[in-house]
Amino acid sequence: MQKLNVVLSSLMILFLTLSLIACDDDFVIDPEDATTISPSNPDTNPNGYTNITNTNERMLLVLCAPSINNDYYADDFDGIIDFMINYANTVMHNDNIIVLADAATMPYLSDALPADVLLQADVQDIWMRDFTTVLPNQMVQFAYSPSYLGNAVSSDIQWSFVNFTDEHNLTYHYADWILDGGNIVDNNSTMAIATERFLEDNNIGLTQAQNIIKNQLGVDHVSIIPYDDDFLAHADGMVMFIDDNTVVINTYEEPFRSELIEILEYDLPGINIVEIPVAFEEGDFGGFASACGVNLNSTVTNNYIYTPIFNNTVDANAVAAIQANTSKEVKTVNAENVCFMGGSVRCLTWQLTGSNADKLVEAARE
- Residues 197-210: pLDDT tens digits? 999 999 999 999 99
Query: Kind and range of the H or E element at 175?
Result: strand 173-178
CA angle 168, 50, 109 (to 5 degrees): 75
Which residues pair with residue 120 across a beta bridge?
Answer: 101
**Terminal Cα distance for the chain, rounded:** 51
Pairing of strands 37-39, 60-64: unpaired
What mean pLDDT, rounded, does the chain reach?
A: 89
Given a cut of 80, whether residue 5 has pLDDT beyond it is no
Are 97 and 52 contacting, i.e. CB atoms less than 8 angstroms apart?
Answer: no
Q: What pTM value is reported for the model?
A: 0.87
Q: Where are the alpha helices (DSSP H) in 220-299?
A: 256-267
Residue type, 53: T
Higher-pLDDT residue of 271 and 7 is 271
How does DSSP classify residue 330? Answer: E
Could you give the percent of the chain with pLDDT greater than 70?
87
Cβ-based neighbour number of residue 111 at 10 Å: 7
Give the model confidence (pLDDT) of 223-246 as tens digits. Answer: 999 999 999 999 999 999 999 999
Domains and CATH numbers, the chain: 2-39 (no CATH), 60-365 (3.75.10.10)
pLDDT class for 30, splitting at 50, 70, 90?
very low
**CA–CA distance, 206 with 224 (Å, rounded to integer):** 7
Residue 169 has pLDDT above 60, yes or no: yes
Amino acid making up residue 363:
A
